[in-house]
Amino acid sequence: MPRLLGMELRGHLDLLLLGTLHQTGPVHGYALIVALRDRSDGAFKLPEGTVYPALHRLERDGLIDSEWYTGKPRRRRVYRLTPSGAAALTAKRREWRTFARGVQAIVEPDVREGWA
Amino acid sequence: MPRLLGMELRGHLDLLLLGTLHQTGPVHGYALIVALRDRSDGAFKLPEGTVYPALHRLERDGLIDSEWYTGKPRRRRVYRLTPSGAAALTAKRREWRTFARGVQAIVEPDVREGWA
DNA sequence: ATTGACACCTAGGAAGCCTATGCCTAGGTT
DNA sequence: AACCTAGGCATAGGCTTCCTAGGTGTCAAT
């Protein structure tokens, strides 16, 4: 029997969340959704039912932590990357590169651009 | 409520299978596993329990079809891309580019190098 | 004779994501 | 006043996907 894959075929959502959080600094969930949409140029319009549970999962796993901000306009839960989360981001970034390179090789093997 | 995503976060397996099949021409499942491993430079060592059910699913959906080859060394089920499958490949390729560009923007915003 | 590569298959479960829904506040419109 | 829209959080339930872990059997080499 073949061994474990080691390479994630899915689960790129965590990478996206962690990566955005790293770019923006501490933000609340809804802002994360907006940032993800804007920074991906509209590619990632993640529904709330996707993002909030994912954030809970990431917090449960210690990759982010949160704090209630009870301030002027509305109450918000502000998330922050933990050291462990930053490390995970680095690892997932590397995994992503491997994954993307692999897919690229399979999917568009003829990227020579030699159109002449 | 946010609308449908339209963008697949997972499901890249189908793209890989279809893409490999397109490169190799008609092949049997096991050869597909080997091709996927070799062409991805070792990134995709897919277990049989992943590939065979996926092939059945693709066939069920009409994207590939198959034929038993009862020949010299061993019996094999040879799969072939259908026209509908080729169309799906084109669509999924485009989706992949959007997806990859999006992730790239989130994850490594400081790389211009546009590979797509 | 036993190992290992080849070749197919399925059941079952874990995890992921999305739909749909709920609650609440603030600001604007009618 | 009543309504709507955007902001903000949350959960339940279902569907799909992938992988683990088995199973069957052939063929070549040690």
The pLDDT of residue B70: 85
Compute φ and ψ for A18, nearest 5 degrees.
-60, -45
pLDDT in tens, B11-67: 799 999 999 999 999 999 999 999 999 999 888 999 999 999 999 999 999 999 999
Which residues of chain A register pLDDT less than 50?
Answer: 1-7, 113-116
Q: Which of A7, A23, A45 sits opposite B44 (nearest CB)?
A: A7
Which residues, 6 or more positions from A53, have their beta carbon under 8 angstroms from its beta carbon? none
The pLDDT of residue B112: 54
Residues A12, A96 contacting (CB under 8 angstroms): yes
Which runs of E-coded beta strand occur in A27-104? 27-28, 64-70, 75-81
Strand D nucleotides within a 7 Å radius of protein CB atoms: 7-13, 16-23, 25-28
Whole-angstrom Cα distance, residue A45 to residue B52? 32
Residue-averaged pLDDT of chain B? 85
Domain ranges of chain B: 12-106
B100 touches chain A (CB under 8 A): yes
Beta bridge partners of B3: none
As a whole-number percent, the residues of chain B with pLDDT over 70 amount to 84
Residue with tokens 């932590």: A65
The pLDDT of residue A113: 44
A2 touches chain B (CB under 8 A): yes
- Determine the topology of domain B12-106 in CATH: Arc Repressor Mutant, subunit A (1.10.10)
- Determine the topology of domain A12-98 in CATH: Arc Repressor Mutant, subunit A (1.10.10)
Minimum-distance nucleotide, CA of B34 to C1': C6
Residue with tokens 């790389």: B111
**Can you give the length of chain A in residues?**
116
Whole-angstrom Cα distance, residue A108 to residue A95? 20
Q: Do A20 and B106 touch (CB under 8 A)?
A: yes
Minimum-distance nucleotide, CA of A9 to C1': D18
CA of A30 to C1' of C10 (A): 43
The pLDDT of residue A71: 81
